Structure 1
Amino acid sequence: MERRQIEYFLAVVENGGFTAAASALHVAQPSLSHAIKVLERDLGAELFHRLPRGVRLTAAGEALIDSARRTLRDMETARATVREVTGLMAGRLDLVSLPTLALDPLAVVIGRFRRAYPEVRIRLAQSELGDEVRESVRTGAAELGLADTTTRSFEELEAVPIGNQELIATLPPGTPAPPAGVLTVDELLDRELITGFPGTLVRDLVTREARRRGREPNVVVELGHRESALHMIAAGAGSGVLPRPLAKLAELEGAVLVSVDPAVEREIHLVRRPGTLSPAAQAFQRMLLAEETSHNET
């Protein structure tokens, strides 16, 4: 397989059709279609079902996606390594993270990285679940990922702990602060809660703590996007438990922030595939680890 064929194949997958893929790549559709046909002939299998509107992957196409992404990622890493030897740092760095981790710590590190390496373009995808972040790295859709802990085993990945992030009880505007200045877990569970769906970190944490006490959490609003919680809380729909960066944004809208006793934290991991990273990813990893080391020391 040639690099161009892999790029065309993945573009059709990601854009849902030949016309959209050709437009995204700025190539003529006949050229793209011919390249895909040559690839199918070389592989001895059709990769797409051609439909009146768009395409659908065949079983062979589904089987090719992960290896195609990893192959393209390895090609990009090899090219970037050669550029580094010649003194050039350019290309693209693909990252994926939980949305709240894009606020902290990624925003600061991305800013510093862009000032140091202005020729490197950054693509940051976001997923609501830590396991989705890991899957994006595993398949090669992203080179580095930032996620919290997981109960699943991802043997094909390496995870480096980079620090902890406090989770804060975030209460609607006008809520009297508790006398002791903190909320116990039992007091938190007595409140009407806004959380994500089952499978998200806070929802699972709240459910686990409630069931340890022989009860169910009083979840009144379930959200698919964690950032929406701060607006719901500010509107008085209920209370929540938010990572500190998101809680501080809610505070700007009038929410009342209270620490939980005992303290509740999430461990943040940098996720990567084993092997050689691209020079851009190596530099970004160094910056991220240095930033977190400095933050933890202060």
Structure 2
Amino acid sequence: MERRQLEYFLAIVEYGGVTRAATRLHVAQPTISAALRSLEKELGGQLFERGPGRFLLTQAGASLIGPARRVLRDFDLAADSVQDVLGLSGGRISIATVPAIGFGWLTKVLAEFRRLYPAVQVSVDSDIDSQAIADGVADGSHDVGLTVESTVNAGIDGVEVGTQELKALLPPGTPQQEAPIALRDLVSMDLITMHSSTSRRWLETQLGLVGLRPSIAVELSSSDSIVPLVTTGAGYALWWTPMDNGACVLHTIEPSLTRPIRLLRREGKPAPTIEAFLRAVDVVVGTGRAVPEEN
């Protein structure tokens, strides 16, 4: 069994067929087909059920996904270990994060990481589901996960590397004030929010305790348009900080709400690229909690 066979197998799984996998990998389709047939022959069974325009995983194929990812991660770990000795002159790190961390906190960490290790390639995927991020770290899909909720996974180390505070995001030019804004004072203002989010559910619960409801003006399926809409004066939003707020004004609110930023990685000694990322986290955050202590 060769590394490239496993890479092609996982590409077929990810992209849904040999043709799309070949296109994304810039490899001739017959090359991938031949590698798949060779892998199936070596393993003694079909990994996919073939049909017109479709490749469906067999039970055997589904059972191979996790081990294949771990084998490829071990290959990367071996390469990273050599590069660590030679001075980390390459390598790759894959990060999965919830959007609220990716838009702000992670930006500063990546800037420091790129300054320290410019030869390391970085891949960042966004997911609103913290448990899905943790699962991806556990099965080897990602090296590092960044979440804001507790997750349950065997073989995963989690450490708190910061906190986020919920604030009111107001249009540019809004006068600054020292005193926090009371939630009841936001009721008369137009709210720009996602269809479902932690901040919206919290706001509705808090206002519901005193018989009030937010005045929702715009509902969005993602947070990408929130800052542009608030910038135009279309309304206000609830915004987790630190996160890029553009030219908008941030005000603290009362009562306040904070949540931890959790960094997840697989247990054991981290690969050199992962340890380098953890060092960058400690430089930016200044806590010294990300890099594991030597036993």
With structure 2 as the length reference, what TM-score do the two structures score?
0.84
Q: 1:206 to 1:155 in 2, by over 3 A?
A: farther
Please, what is the CA RMSD of the aligned residues? 2.8
Question: What is the deviation of 1:237?
Answer: 4.1
Match in the other structure for 1:62: 62
Match in the other structure for 1:230: 227
Q: Is 1:202 paired with 2:202?
A: no
SS of residue in 2 equivalent to 1:205? helix
Instruction: Give the whole-Å Cα distance in 1 for the aligned partners of 2:86 and 2:172.
Output: 57
SS of residue in 2 equivalent to 1:280? helix
Match in the other structure for 2:185: 187
Q: Is 1:267 paired with 2:260?
A: yes
Overall identity of the aligned pairs, in %: 36
1:109-128 equivalences in 2 (<5 Å): 109-128=109-128
**8 Å contact kept, 2:101–2:243:** no
Match in the other structure for 1:77: 77
Match in the other structure for 1:15: 15
Q: Is 1:242 paired with 2:235?
A: no
Question: What is the deviation of 1:174?
Answer: 7.2
**8 Å contact kept, 1:128–1:225:** no
CA distances 1:85-133 after superposition (whole Å, capped 9, x unpaired): 3444312111121233233322232222223222211111112333333
Question: What is the deviation of 1:80?
Answer: 1.1
Instruction: Give the whole-Å Cα distance in 2 for the aligned partners of 1:155 and 1:112.
Output: 30
Q: Which moved more, 1:47-56 or 1:29-38?
A: 47-56
Report the residue type matching 1:186 in the other structure. R
Report the residue type matching 2:281 in the other structure. L
Match in the other structure for 1:157: 156
- Which of the two has greater helix per residue? 1
Q: 1:219 to 1:91 in 2, by over 3 A?
A: same
Instruction: Give the whole-Å Cα distance in 2 for the aligned partners of 1:221 and 1:203.
Output: 12
Question: What is the deviation of 1:247?
Answer: 5.9
Q: Is 1:104 paired with 2:112?
A: no
Instruction: Give the whole-Å Cα distance in 2 for the aligned partners of 1:187 and 1:201.
Output: 20
Structure 1 gaps of 5+ residues are none
Question: What is the deviation of 1:210?
Answer: 4.0
**8 Å contact kept, 1:168–1:247:** no
SS of residue in 2 equivalent to 1:248? coil
Q: 1:175 to 1:112 in 2, by over 3 A?
A: closer
Question: What is the deviation of 1:49?
Answer: 2.8
Q: 1:256 to 1:86 in 2, by over 3 A?
A: closer
Match in the other structure for 2:218: 221
With structure 1 as the length reference, what TM-score do the two structures score?
0.83
Q: Which moved more, 1:102-111 or 1:267-276?
A: 102-111
Structure 2 gaps of 5+ residues are 289-295
CA distances 1:223-248 after superposition (whole Å, capped 9, x unpaired): 22223222233344443111234463
Q: 1:111 to 1:234 in 2, by over 3 A?
A: closer
Q: 1:224 to 1:120 in 2, by over 3 A?
A: same
**8 Å contact kept, 2:103–2:244:** no
Instruction: Give the whole-Å Cα distance in 1 for the aligned partners of 2:114 and 2:173.
Output: 41
